[in-house]
C-alpha cells in the first residue's frame, strides 16, 4: 500500500520561532539567576513590537524587568533582527500561590508520603520514536529540519547572498508498505532582499541546499520542487506575519505524524509537565525502539496538577512490537520514574539549556532526553 506523509519546519527567523526563542532565552536568563525559577512566558511579535506576558517567579540580583528587556534585545540580534526597531512591552507577574503550593509540595507529600514536586498542570503528553531514520524521527520531518538548518547556515555564512531570516520548508515522502520510496514534493519559501533575482534564488536553493541533502533518497522526474511559489518574499518576519509562542508545536515534535497533547514547550520551566513530561515520553519511546522492542512506538503519560505520579501510562507500538504492548508497558512502569522531580534530576532540567531547543525541533542529538542509557536495563527486563 502506498501512502504519502508530509511535514514542515521553519527557519530560526520565522516569527513564531522568533517568539519561541525569545521565550526560552528569558527562561534561560531566569534559570541562570535562580535555578528554581518558575517561568511561564508567552511572547507576541508584530511589526515594531515585542510583547511578553506571563508568570515569572525568580530571585534575581538584577531587576527582573531589566533582565528580561536585555534578554529580548539580545535574542532579536541573534536571530537577525534589529532590536532598535522594536518596542518591548512586558506584562509579567509572579506565579499564583495556589499553583506554586501544589507544585512545590505534591499531593503525595501532603498526604504523608515522600516530599516531591507535583505536576505543574494536568494533561497527556506523548513521546514517539521510529526506526526509519538515525534520529528516530519521521523522515519528512528530518528532511524539512535539514533544509531549514541549511538555509540558516547559508544565510549566516553568505553561501547564498541576498537571503534573509524568515523561511520555511515542507517535504512530502511517498511510502510503500511502510518504507520511504520516493520524494513526492519539496516546498521551500525563503525571505530575500528586493534586489535578489528569483530565478537565481531558485537555482541556488536547489543546487546548494536541496541536492546535497537528498542524496540518500534523491529527486526523480516525478518530484515536484517549488521554491518561493508565492513569488516575491521581501517583507518577512514579524513585519509581515505576527508571531506567537507555541504555534509551531508540530515542528517542535513529530511533524503531525504522531499524537500531540496540545501543550507547547517554549517559555516554560521544567515543573510544567507538558514540557518535561513530553521529554520523558520521547526518552522512553526512543529506548523502546533502540533495544528492538518495537520498530515504532508511542508513549502517552497523563498527569494531574499537583500530583507527582502519573494517573495513566500507555504504550502503542502500532503492531510492530516484538512482545505485546501490555508487556512493554509493564517494563516501562518498572524501569522509568515519571514523577516531575525525578525527570528534572535525570535530565538536569534546571540548567539554562532551553534557547537551543527553539529551532529544528526539541528532539535533536545532544539533548539529555535524546540519550538512550536505559536500553540495557530494558533488555534485562525482557524474558527471552
Of the candidates 55, 49, 44, the one whose C-alpha atom is nearest the C-alpha of residue 22 is 44
Distance between CA atoms of 41 and 27, rounded to whole angstroms?
8
Q: What is the CATH number of domain 15-110?
A: 3.30.300.10
Helix extents (H) in 81-215: 97-104, 107-110, 139-156, 198-204, 211-213
pLDDT digits 0-9 by tens, 89-120: 999 999 888 777 767 775 666 777 676 888 88
- Give the model's pLDDT for residue 117: 85
Average pLDDT for 35-44: 96
Average pLDDT for 165-178: 96
Compute the residue count for the chain: 384
- Give the model's pLDDT for residue 111: 72
Cell of residue 29, nine digits: 536568563
| CA of residue 243 relative to chain centroid, distance | 16
The answer to whether the beta carbons of residues 284 and 127 sit under 8 Å apart is yes
Q: Which residues pair with 318 in a beta bridge?
A: none
pLDDT higher for 323 or 96? Answer: 323
pLDDT band at 40 (very low <50, low <70, confident <90, very high): very high
- Give the model's pLDDT for residue 103: 77
Whole-structure pTM value = 0.95
Assigned architecture for domain 2-9+140-236: 2-Layer Sandwich (3.30)
Biggest CA pair distance of the chain: 70
- Give the model's pLDDT for residue 372: 79
Cell numbers 528569558: residue: 26
Mean pLDDT of the chain: 93
| CA of residue 325 relative to chain centroid, distance | 27
Cell of residue 11, nine digits: 527557519
Domains 15-110 and 123-132+249-380 share a fold: yes
DSSP letter string over 292-306?
Answer: TS-SEEEEEEEE-BT
Q: Please count the other Cβ atoms lying within 10 Å of the Cβ belonging to residue 231.
A: 6
Residue 199 backbone dihedrals phi, psi, to 5 degrees: -65, -45
Lowest mean pLDDT among 57-61, 170-174, 184-188: 57-61
pLDDT digits 0-9 by tens, 196-232: 999 999 999 999 999 999 988 888 889 999 999 999 9
pLDDT digits 0-9 by tens, 338-352: 999 999 999 999 999
Distance between CA atoms of 372 and 369, rounded to whole angstroms?
8
- Give the model's pLDDT for residue 380: 65
Sign of CA dihedral 261, 264, 269, 275: positive
Beta-strand pair 38-46/49-57: antiparallel
Lowest mean pLDDT among 26-35, 115-124, 269-278: 115-124
Burial class (CB in 10 A: 0-12, 13-18, 19+), 116: middle
pLDDT higher for 179 or 19? Answer: 19
In percent, how much of the chain has pLDDT > 90? 85
Residue 351 backbone dihedrals phi, psi, to 5 degrees: -85, 150
Domain boundaries, the chain: 2-9+140-236, 15-110, 123-132+249-380
- Give the model's pLDDT for residue 216: 86
Strand, coil or helix: 243: strand
- Give the model's pLDDT for residue 60: 86
15-33 vs 64-78: helix axis angle to the nearest 10? 140
* Domain 123-132+249-380: CATH class, spelled out: alpha beta
Distance between CA atoms of 202 and 238, rounded to whole angstroms?
24
Strand, coil or helix: 363: coil
pLDDT higher for 100 or 182? Answer: 182
Amino acid at each position: 500500500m502506498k501512502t504519502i506523509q508530509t511535514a514542515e519546519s521553519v527557519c530560526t527567523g520565522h516569527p513564531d520561532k522568533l517568539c519561541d526563542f525569545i521565550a526560552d532565552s528569558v527562561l534561560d536568563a531566569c534559570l541562570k539567576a535562580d535555578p528554581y525559577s518558575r517561568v511561564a512566558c508567552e511572547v507576541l511579535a508584530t511589526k515594531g513590537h515585542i510583547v511578553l506576558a506571563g508568570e515569572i517567579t525568580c530571585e534575581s540580583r538584577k531587576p527582573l524587568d531589566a533582565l528580561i528587556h536585555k534578554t529580548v534585545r539580545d535574542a532579536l540580534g541573534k536571530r537577525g533582527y534589529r532590536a532598535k526597531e522594536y518596542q518591548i512591552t512586558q506584562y509579567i507577574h509572579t506565579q499564583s500561590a495556589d499553583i506554586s503550593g501544589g507544585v512545590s509540595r505534591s499531593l503525595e507529600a501532603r498526604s504523608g508520603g515522600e516530599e516531591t514536586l507535583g505536576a505543574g498542570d494536568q494533561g497527556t503528553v506523548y513521546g514517539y520514536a521510529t526506526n526509519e531514520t538515525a534520529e528516530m524521527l519521521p523522515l519528512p520531518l528530518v528532511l524539512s529540519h535539514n533544509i531549514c538548518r541549511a538555509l540558516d547556515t547559508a544565510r549566516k555564512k553568505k553561501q547564498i547572498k541576498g537571503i534573509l531570516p524568515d523561511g520555511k520548508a515542507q517535504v512530502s515522502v511517498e511510502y510503500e508498505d511502510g518504507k520511504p520510496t520516493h520524494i513526492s514534493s519539496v516546498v521551500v519559501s525563503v525571505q530575500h532582499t528586493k534586489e535578489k533575482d528569483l530565478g537565481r534564488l531558485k537555482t541556488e536553493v536547489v543546487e546548494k541546499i536541496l541536492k546535497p541533502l537528498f542524496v540518500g533518497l534523491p529527486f526523480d522526474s516525478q518530484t515536484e520542487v517549488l521554491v518561493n511559489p508565492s513569488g516575491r518574499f521581501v517583507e518577512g518576519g514579524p513585519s509581515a506575519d505576527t508571531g506567537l509562542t507555541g504555534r509551531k508545536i508540530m515542528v517542535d515534535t513529530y511533524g503531525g505524524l504522531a499524537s500531540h497533547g496540545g501543550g507547547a514547550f517554549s517559555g516554560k520551566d521544567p515543573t510544567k509537565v507538558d514540557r518535561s513530561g513530553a521529554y520523558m515520553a520521547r526518552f522512553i519511546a526512543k529506548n523502546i525502539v533502540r533495544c528492538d522492542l518495537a520498530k515504532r512506538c508511542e508513549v502517552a503519560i497523563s498527569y494531574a496538577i499537583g500530583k507527582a505520579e502519573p494517573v495513566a501510562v500507555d504504550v502503542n507500538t502500532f503492531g510492530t512490537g516484538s512482545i505485546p504492548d501490555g508487556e512493554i508497558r509493564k517494563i516501562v512502569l518498572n524501569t522509568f520514574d515519571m514523577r516531575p522531580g525525578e525527570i528534572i534530576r535525570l535530565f538536569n532540567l534546571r540548567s539554562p539549556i532551553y534557547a537551543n531547543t527553539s529551532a529544528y525541533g526539541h528532539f535533536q542529538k545532544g539533548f539529555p532526553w535524546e540519550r538512550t542509557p536505559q536500553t540495557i536495563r530494558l533488555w534485562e527486563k525482557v524474558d527471552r
